[in-house]
Structure 1
Amino acid sequence: MTIDHCGVYVPSAKANQVNAWYAEALKPLGYGRHHSEPIPAGEVVGYGESIQAMDFWTIAIDDEPNVKLHIAFRAKDRAAVDAFHAAAIKAGGTDNGAPGMRPYAPDYYAAFVHDPIGNNIEVVCRGAAAPAPSADGSAGVRQ
């Protein structure tokens, strides 16, 4: 069984800032903002690769959320991890771990950024890096 979707609660006073951040930070993963619906505290916003594949949501609430979350998005390759980190920092996120290998598994390449309200957002690529030519012209594995 897999998770269908998840969401974060955002204070209504910061919802515009947070949604602008997610719109920019998730672009390198192929995500876009595909749905918005008014609710009493503001709006619910859906993100995903398409309107049929929205799997991440922000939900405006009147108060500050009392829990900080760690959410990991899967990237198709290491370049997307790098691009996420750069876009997320440029959009106003706080670095919480530059792109690189992690000790969690031999092929775990990830980056971490805190969103504007402190959630720890990770993007990970599992799998070997693309082969890079060695000095003799043969393919080697780049770490």
Structure 2
Amino acid sequence: MIDHMTLHVRDVERSIAFYTAALAPLGYVVKTHHESTLGFGVDDGTPHSDFYVSPLDEGAANSVPNNAANDAANGTAEQPHGQSSQQPYAPTHIAFLAPDRAAVQALYDAALAAGGHDNGTPGPRPYHAGYYAAFVLDPDGNNIEAVVDWSHDAGFAVPIKTAQ
């Protein structure tokens, strides 16, 4: 069971504004503040946050992809096993549980209005029977998903077509 996670972002103020708006349809609010890191969680009367947004350190924010062509272009000495001395920023995928299809749509709409980019309109997905989700890219390119908990509600069952 995961207690919480932290997403490191390039522009923390921009991302806090984005997530404040995008997660509001799921009942998320800012609950904790630790220096430049903010914790979001469901407004349940407790101080527990399960999703944090924190600034990416400057070295990582400005790093280049780990490959020989970029190392040569940037004059970076090659490390053992082809490792660059800098690590690239790698976008992350995060799925937020939605209580129903309307909340999936609401998160999708709010995220787009807050500056996100469409990465999959709300609808059924072929992953599993009843999987209903939407995908939006946040300002850093992280893939944010809202998904109905299809495993607990047979009412959302969607038949899956299999290759024959």
Equivalent of 2:142 in 108, 111, 119: 119
Describe the superposition over 1:3-30 as per-residue Cα deviations: whole angstroms up to 9, x where unpaired.
111111112xx11111100000000000
**Contact 2:96–2:147, Cα closer than 8 Å, also in 1:** yes
Equivalent of 2:50 in 50, 55, 60: 55
C-alpha deviation, 1:60, in angstroms: 1.1
C-alpha deviation, 1:71, in angstroms: 0.5
Cα distance in 2 between the residues matched to 1:52 and 1:94: 31
Q: Show structure 1 runs of 5+ residues with no match.
A: 130-140
Matches within 5 A, 1:51-130: 51-63=46-58, 64=61, 66-125=89-148, 126=150, 127=153, 128-129=155-156
Cα distance in 1 between the residues matched to 2:56 and 2:3: 22
The 3 A distance-change label for structure 1 pair 105 and 142 is: closer
Residue 28 of structure 1 aligns with an amino acid whose one-letter code is: P
Q: 2:65 maps to which residue?
A: none
Cα distance in 1 between the residues matched to 2:50 and 2:6: 8
Q: 1:8 maps to which residue?
A: 7
Secondary structure at 1:67's aligned position in 2? Answer: coil
Q: 1:44 maps to which residue?
A: 37
C-alpha deviation, 1:52, in angstroms: 2.9
Residue 44 of structure 1 aligns with an amino acid whose one-letter code is: T
Taking only the aligned residue pairs, the percentage that are identical comes to: 45
C-alpha deviation, 1:53, in angstroms: 3.1
Residue 126 of structure 2 aligns with an amino acid whose one-letter code is: P
C-alpha deviation, 1:142, in angstroms: 9.5
Q: Show structure 2 runs of 5+ residues with no match.
A: 62-87, 160-164
Q: TM-score normalised to the size of structure 1?
A: 0.81
More strand by percentage: 1
More helix by percentage: 2
Secondary structure at 2:107's aligned position in 1? Answer: helix
Q: 1:24 maps to which residue?
A: 21
Which shifted more, 49-58 or 76-85?
A: 49-58
Q: TM-score normalised to the size of structure 2?
A: 0.71
Cα distance in 1 between the residues matched to 2:40 and 2:105: 20
Cα distance in 2 between the residues matched to 1:10 and 1:83: 23
Give structure 1 regions of 4+ aligned residues with deviation exceeding 2 angstroms: 50-53
**Cα root mean square deviation, aligned:** 1.8
Q: How many residue pairs align between the two structures?
A: 125
Larger radius of gyration: 2
Cα distance in 2 between the residues matched to 1:103 and 1:123: 15
